[in-house]
Amino acid sequence: MGLEQKLGNMGVVTARLEDAVNWGRTNSMWPILFGLACCAIEMMSMQASHYDASRFGMELMRPSPRQSDLMIVAGRVSRKMAPVLRRLYDQMAEPKWVIAMGDCASCGGIFNNYAIVQGVDEIVPVDVYVAGCPPRPEALIDGIMTLHEKIRGESMKDWA
């Protein structure tokens, strides 16, 4: 990351650099295999051939957190699972993003009780929330596109 620090704010050069790096980051984001409950089935449907996720570079779902950069929290997070989730998030390498897929990950969903964490943003910082119970694969793809737009708008100050 030393290049950006040396170049500073040199106008056209840094703008082009930002575009290139952001383009590279969005076009081959590898999600971590983190399907917990029903939303995972819709995430699998998104991976399958009907709503192909491979056209976004996401056909590889890596089980290892070290090799992935997007965590799609798909499903309800129970209190027993919360420390596991945090640990996996910490093991992911920068840059990393989190999509809270579904109502249970966004706000606890229909389960407002002792056992479910009311929204996964109590544990990890979330970039995009996708609503639905479960959200259609198209809604999830819309969430991923929103995340891509967000990343493309990032500047060098946000990176390091």
Partner 1 sequence: MDKNMPEPDAYSAKIKQAHPEAIESVVDFRGERTLVIKQEFLRDVCLLLRDDEDLRFNYLEDIVADDMLPEYPRFAVNYHMCSTINKHTVRLRVPVDDPDDGPETVASVWPIASWLEMEVWDLMGITFKGNDQLRRLFLPEDWQGHPLRKDYPLGYEEVQFSFNWELIDAKKPYAKD
Partner 2 sequence: MTDGASPGENDRPIPASDIVHELTVEELRAKYGSGLVITSEDNMLLSMGPQHPSTHGVLRLLVELDGETVVNLAPDIGFLHTGVEKTMESKTYTKALVMTDRLDYLAPLSNNLGYVMAVEKLLDVEPPPRAQVIRLILTELTRIASHLVWLGTHALDIAAMTVFLYTFREREYLLDIFEMCAGQRMMASFFRPGGLWRDVPEEFVPAVRNFLEFFPAKIADYEALLKRNPIFLDRTKGVGTISADDAIAWGLSGPSLRGSGVDWDIRKAYPYMGYEEYEFDVPVGEKGDIYDRYWCRMLEMRESLKLVEQALDRLPDGPVTIDDWKIVPPPRSELGRSMEAVIHHFKIWTEGFKAPEGFVFQRIESPRGEFACYLRGDGSPKPARVHFRTPSYVNLASLPLMGKGVFIADLVAIIGSIDIVLGEIDR
Out of partner 1, partner 2, none, what residue 20 binds, judged by CB under 5 to 8 A for its kind, is none
**Residue 140: CB minimum distance to partner 1, A:** 22
CA distance 101 to 104: 8
Out of partner 2, partner 1, none, what residue 124 binds, judged by CB under 5 to 8 A for its kind, is partner 1
- Please compute Rg for the chain using Cα positions: 17
Instruction: Establish if 112 lies at the interface with partner 1 (CB under 8 A).
Output: yes
**Cβ within 8 Å of residue 97, ≥6 positions away:** 29, 69, 70, 71, 127, 128, 147, 151
Q: What is the largest CA-CA distance in the chain?
A: 53
Q: Report in angstroms the alpha-carbon separations of 66 from 46, 49, 77, 87.
A: 23, 27, 21, 12
Out of partner 2, partner 1, none, what residue 118 binds, judged by CB under 5 to 8 A for its kind, is partner 1
Residues that bind partner 2 (CB under 8 A): 33-38, 40-42, 44-45, 48-50, 63, 65, 75-76, 78-84, 86-88, 90-91, 110-116, 133-134, 136
Binding site for partner 1 (CB under 8 A): 79-80, 108, 112-115, 118-119, 121-125
